Amino acid sequence: MPVRRVVVSAHNGVHARPVAELVRLAQSHGSPITLRTADGTSVDLSSVLAVMDLAIAPGDAVVIETRESDAADRVLAQLAEVLDPRG
C-alpha cells in the first residue's frame, strides 16, 4: 500500500481551501485515500467534513495512504504538496 508521511507546513494549517483541494484530488484518483493523524485518527480523504474535523495545524504530522495503482505515487505527491507547499 503506497504511503506518504507529511509534516504540515501550510501557513494556516489545513483550513477550507486546502481541504477542498485535498478532497478534489482524492476524488479524482478513483481509489480510496485515507488521511491518518499522529494520534491514530483516520478519515476518508474524500470527505470535506471529516478532514475539517481533524483540525490539522502547522507542524502536525499526517500519513496519507491509498491502494496500489499506476497513479498512486503521483496523487500522493500532489496531496503532499498541498499539505507541505515548501516541500
**Which positions are annotated as active-site residues?**
15
> What amino acid occupies position 47?
S
The helix-helix angle for 72-83 and 16-29 (nearest 10°) equals: 180
Q: CA torsion angle for 49, 30, 37, 5 (degrees, to 10)? A: -150
Q: How many CB atoms lie within 10 A of CB 45?
A: 24
